[in-house]
């Protein structure tokens, strides 16, 4: 079983109640789908360092580590019988910004309403991490 260490990061604008979704194009028999920022952890990077790098590579936005919230560590996602992701899931609060896409990875993006996010996600693992993001945001606004 191959296990790839990875990150997932939800970029959210709490004022507008929107989160960033990136559109992955259809390829190799798979349909196009939406997801938050995702990516692999390289070499000796910490999950936080990988998250900062991936957000910049995929959106052009430079986030600050001190405002990065870790929602879960070591969330295992089975991709198939031979491959698993070991995800570290993060959330970063930011006002909506103009995204600079990496055209080799994504074909489009949208800042989607919190109310619409679950319906716009294809994969159960992303739906689960969005629940964690919502729980975190509700705890912050209700405390």
Q: What residue segments make up the domains of the chain, in order of their start?
A: 2-141
Q: How far apart are CA 116 and CA 31, in angstroms?
A: 20
Residues of the chain with pLDDT > 90, as a percent, come to: 80
Q: Are strands 18-24 and 33-35 parallel, antiparallel or unpaired?
A: antiparallel
Mean pLDDT, range 26-53, rounded to an integer: 94
- Give the pLDDT confidence score for residue 79 in this predicted structure: 81
CATH superfamily of 2-141: Nucleoside Triphosphate Pyrophosphohydrolase (3.90.79.10)
**Mean of the per-residue pLDDT values for the chain?**
93
Is residue 29 over pLDDT 90? no
pLDDT, one tens digit per residue, over 84-107 is: 989 999 999 999 999 999 989 999
- How far, in Å, are 27, 46, 97, 124, 135 from residue 3 at the CA level? 22, 16, 33, 19, 27
Q: Strand (E) positions, 14-134?
A: 18-24, 33-35, 37-40, 68-80, 83-93, 108-113
């Amino acid at each position: 079983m191959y296990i790839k260490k990875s990150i997932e990061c939800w970029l959210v604008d709490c004022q507008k109640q929107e989160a960033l979704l990136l559109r992955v194009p259809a390829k190799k028999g798979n349909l196009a789908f939406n997801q938050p920022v995702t990516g692999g952890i390289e070499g000796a990077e910490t999950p936080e360092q990988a998250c900062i790098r991936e957000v910049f590579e995929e959106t052009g936005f430079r986030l600050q580590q001190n405002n990065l919230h870790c929602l879960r560590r070591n969330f295992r996602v089975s991709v198939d019988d031979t491959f698993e992701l070991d995800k570290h899931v993060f959330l970063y609060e930011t006002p909506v910004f103009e995204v600079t896409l990496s055209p080799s990875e994504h074909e489009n993006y949208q800042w989607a309403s919190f109310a619409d996010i679950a319906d716009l996600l294809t994969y159960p693992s992303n739906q689960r991490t969005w629940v964690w993001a919502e729980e975190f945001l509700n705890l912050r606004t209700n405390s």
